[in-house]
Amino acid sequence: MKDKILNLQSTITDLGGRINEDHKNGLNRLGINTVKDLLYHFPTRYADMREIAGASTLVVGQAVTIYGVMEKVSVRRSFKGHIPMTEARIADNTGTVRCVWFNQAYIGKMYPDGTKVKISGVVQSDKNGFLLSNPNIERATSTIPESQSGLFASSTDTEFLTPVYRETKGVTSLYLYTLIKKLVQSSILDEIIDPVPKHILEKLHLPILKDALLYIHFPKNENLTIAARKRFAFEEIFFLQLKQYQEKVEAKHSLAYPITYNKKDIGDFIKSFPFKPTNAQLNAIDSILKDIARREPMGRLLEGDVGSGKTFVAAIVSYAILNNLDNKNDKRLQIAYMAPTEILAKQHFESFIKYFKGTNIEIGLLTSSGCAKFPSKSNPTSHTSISRTQLIKWLESGQISIVIGTHALIQKSIKFERLALVIIDEQHRFGVKQRKALAQSKKGTKEESKELPHLLSMTATPIPRTLALTIFGDLDITVIDAMPLERKKIITEIVPATKRTKIYEDIRKELQSGRQVYVICPRIDEQDEEEAQKRTLKSVKEEAKRLSEEIFPEFIVDILHSKMKKEEKEEVMQDFLDKKSDILVATSVIEVGINVPNATVIVIEHADRFGLAQLHQLRGRVGRREYQSYCYLFTESKGETTTKRLKALVTAKNGFELAEQDMMARGIGMLMDGKQWGISDLAMEAIKNPKLVEIARDESRELLDKDPKLTKYPLLKEVLEKRTQVHME
């Protein structure tokens, strides 16, 4: 390591000779760009010396530590993909076990035949027997249990827990451990100042930052590791709660357009719809209307399963707002409705045209691929395509009252005359600053609009209450917990391998009736050799080929996955909507953003790999019309636990009940992806503890109530400002 003075902002290349170009690229892929990033790359688990096992006593799925001697070490390239790899046998006095390290040819040079080693990993199996894939490896210096003592009688080691880090090509767990160890030895921790107030840490019996970093990377015992992880989980939730409470206070100190509404007018408008709303929908409308009648801006999250009628609620609220005029110029107020995809924006546009036909309300569509306006001048019953420039001009003048679009709505060129409501569909986070940016002055000056628009955020993602309180701490929450009576229940069936042929025949009947089918797979591509060692999982590309050639050759099969370009995804989704394809094989990318009423079957391969709430949301892609719909959960697993968990999908009343069940059974990190919320897996898992969330909320509010500007806590203020900046970017 160079003698260069390091600080937390130093880049990883400042660490010196241990970082070559391959290492740098690998570290960057892991999100490690600075010294601070490296320190905050926490272990995913710990290899415990109490897990020590002999080579002859292994069980698939077991986390083990084996002491042995390297034998039959070979460095070669894999048959498939030509990946450089090291293969060896680890022999102890009970037998041998095969180990493979992919993309780590150097292992063979560092640990030749005869080297005494400590191996830690999770036991897997393939056609050749037990296997450890990419296990952690180091030279053995540890005391060996009696069962293996004949090998290393003179070894000594007092460490019980070995950290195991998330890896990538060219960067192993052992490399990360060595790098962090060298970094800590450079006294980098001495410059760290803890941003969390001391009195809060003492109150919760949590370690200071310096100690927590030592405990989490170099654990002396399990209790200290637990304390460190709890501290970092609390820290992240605490910062999030502080930021959100700041936004809530800021919103309360802003002004919104106060909305007045006539209950009879609202009732008459509701009666114009061809269905009777549920009590849950009416209660949601009532709560929102009371909010927007106030002078302070509303911030509300509307949760409801797919098909529960959230768009209907948004339409009624929009009608109430558009019956109001701006007191300054007697013009209608405006509404911006943001959807996650272009196809969904177009579907909402068409729905709103039906809802508002005959009301003289002008509606615009703004997406990156094109713009439209309703009503058309030549035909008042339909819409027409217009230029982006013309649409922006009409928004700025206030002529268009409702604009529906994608993220294109928040570009700087888009300005509103009097924006009163922002509706966000499945965008999850949209704070005060984003609202201010959206409602900027129509003249294009730097002066911000004095009025902050009301915010209605909507999601079909079933979110456990503790997560909702954490992520949406600045919003009030309303749940639509009932489905429309006319919506048929989706028939859900758990399908073992033995019943696959019979189900395919049932699906063929649906296809022959003109219906369409989704098939969901957990993977995109064919498996490489490394993945094949773990488990055979169906991929989108392989399954699409199999279905089109062997099972349903008479029907058109298309694919959709996250690695496709945005334009390609939109085209595939539009083709499926237009019935140019019959079967869409996809990853879980279709959870949100597509509504195909003609699709009546969804097949989910390896259903046991998905969270219950995610399965429920995927199931919601079908059953959109009067046709009976079906959800088939294909699973190779015969375990009682898996069967019991999947049966909950058949019996649960709604997605929120499933989300809570899954959170308690598997942990929130397995339930949903932390990346979509902008928080770490560690904090996601901590949300399982409602008490911790509650304490973080209480402490953050007490701190800001006493010191709104955080003048006594400049470091804490700096952390929050950086987090806000990252969020805005």
pLDDT digits (tens, 9 = 90+) for 100-138: 988 888 888 889 999 998 888 888 888 788 888 888 888
SS (H, E, C) 57-74: CCCCCCEEEEEEEEEEEE
Range with top average pLDDT, 52-61, 152-161, 292-301, 547-556: 547-556
The DSSP bridge partners found for residue 553 are: none
Taking residues 37-43, report their average pLDDT. 91
pLDDT at 546 over 80: yes
Same domain, 417 and 372: yes
Question: What percentage of the chain exceeds 70 in pLDDT?
Answer: 84
Residue 16 inside a domain? The answer is yes
Same domain, 76 and 122: yes
pLDDT at position 427 is 62
Taking residues 76-95, report their average pLDDT. 82
Residue 206 inside a domain? The answer is no
Band (pLDDT 50/70/90 cuts) for residue 9 is confident
Domain count of the chain?
4
Residue 386 inside a domain? The answer is yes
Strands 557-560 and 334-338: unpaired
Residue 470 inside a domain? The answer is no
Residue 668 inside a domain? The answer is no
Cis before 375 (ω within 30):
yes
- Single residue among 435, 459, 483 that ends a domain in this structure: 459
Using CB atoms within 10 Å of the CB of residue 150, give its burial: 0 to 12 exposed, 13 to 18 middle, 19+ buried. Answer: exposed
Tally the C-alpha atoms within 13 A of residue 558's C-alpha that lie toward its C-beta.
Answer: 20
Same domain, 502 and 630: yes
pLDDT at 383 over 50: yes
Are the CB atoms for 408 and 402 separated by under 8 Å? no
CA dihedral 137, 138, 140, 146 (to 10 degrees): -30
Same domain, 272 and 417: yes
47-83: string of b/e by CB count within 10 Å (b at 16+)?
Answer: bbbeebbbbeebeeeeebbbbbbbeebebeebeeeeb
> CB 487: neighbour CB atoms within 10 A?
17
- Single residue among 653, 674, 708 that ends a domain in this structure: 653
SS (H, E, C) 386-449: ECHHHHHHHHHHCCCCEEEECHHHHCCCCCCCCEEEEEEECCCCCCHHHHHHHCCCCCCCCCCC
The DSSP bridge partners found for residue 164 are: 45
310-322 and 342-356 are packed helices; what angle lies between their axes, rounded to 10 degrees?
Answer: 60
Same domain, 325 and 375: yes
Cα dihedral 720, 722, 723, 724 sign = positive
How far apart (Å, rounded) are the C-alpha atoms in residues 509 and 451? 56
Same domain, 90 and 40: no
Q: Is 178 strand, coil or helix? A: helix
Q: Which of 169-178, 220-229, 445-454, 624-633 has the lowest mean pLDDT?
A: 445-454
Using CB atoms within 10 Å of the CB of residue 624, give its burial: 0 to 12 exposed, 13 to 18 middle, 19+ buried. Answer: middle
Q: Which of 359, 371, 279 is nearest to 315 (CA)?
A: 359
Are the CB atoms for 423 and 404 separated by under 8 Å? no
CATH code of 423's domain: 3.40.50.300
Q: Which of 90-99, 288-297, 527-536 has the lowest mean pLDDT?
A: 527-536
Same domain, 62 and 20: no
Band (pLDDT 50/70/90 cuts) for residue 1 is very low
Strands 384-386 and 370-374: antiparallel
How far apart (Å, rounded) are the C-alpha atoms in residues 7 and 641? 48
Same domain, 360 and 421: yes
Q: Which of 587, 607, 603 is nearest to 507 (CA)?
A: 603
Residue 387 inside a domain? The answer is yes
Same domain, 55 and 126: yes
Band (pLDDT 50/70/90 cuts) for residue 48 is low
Q: Which of 85, 207, 92 is nearest to 149 (CA)?
A: 92
Are the CB atoms for 204 and 688 separated by under 8 Å? no
pLDDT at position 683 is 72
CATH code of 71's domain: 2.40.50.140
Q: Which of 541, 534, 646, 427 is nearest to 124 (CA)?
A: 534
Q: Which of 18-22, 196-200, 234-238, 702-706 has the lowest mean pLDDT?
A: 18-22
pLDDT at 35 over 80: yes
The dihedrals phi and psi of 210, each to the nearest 5 degrees, come to -60, -50
What is the domain range of residue 501? 491-653
Same domain, 354 and 422: yes
> What does pLDDT average to over the chain?
82
Taking residues 232-242, report their average pLDDT. 88
pLDDT at 442 over 80: no
414-437: string of b/e by CB count within 10 Å (b at 16+)?
Answer: bbbbbbbbbbbbbbbbbbbebbbe
- Single residue among 653, 672, 690 that ends a domain in this structure: 653
Band (pLDDT 50/70/90 cuts) for residue 39 is very high
Residue 158 inside a domain? The answer is yes
Amino acid identity of residue 407, one-letter, is H
In the chain, count H helices and then E strands. 25, 23
The DSSP bridge partners found for residue 630 are: 491, 601
pLDDT at position 205 is 92
pLDDT at 405 over 60: yes
The DSSP bridge partners found for residue 163 are: 46
pLDDT at 23 over 90: no
Are the CB atoms for 301 and 468 separated by under 8 Å? yes
Residue 432: C-alpha distances to residues 252, 259, 376 (Å): 10, 20, 35
Band (pLDDT 50/70/90 cuts) for residue 481 is confident
Higher-confidence position of 727 and 232:
232
pLDDT at 314 over 80: yes
pLDDT at 329 over 70: no
Cis before 708 (ω within 30):
no
Band (pLDDT 50/70/90 cuts) for residue 151 is very low
Q: Is 127 strand, coil or helix? A: coil
Q: Which of 69, 154, 163, 153 is nearest to 114 (CA)?
A: 69
Same domain, 112 and 22: no
pLDDT at position 406 is 87
Higher-confidence position of 60 and 310:
310
pLDDT at 445 over 60: no
Q: Which of 316-325, 443-452, 455-464, 646-655 has the lowest mean pLDDT?
A: 443-452
How far apart (Å, rounded) are the C-alpha atoms in residues 347 and 345? 5
Same domain, 629 and 510: yes
pLDDT at 206 over 90: yes
Residue 686 inside a domain? The answer is no
CA dihedral 108, 111, 117, 120 (to 10 degrees): -30
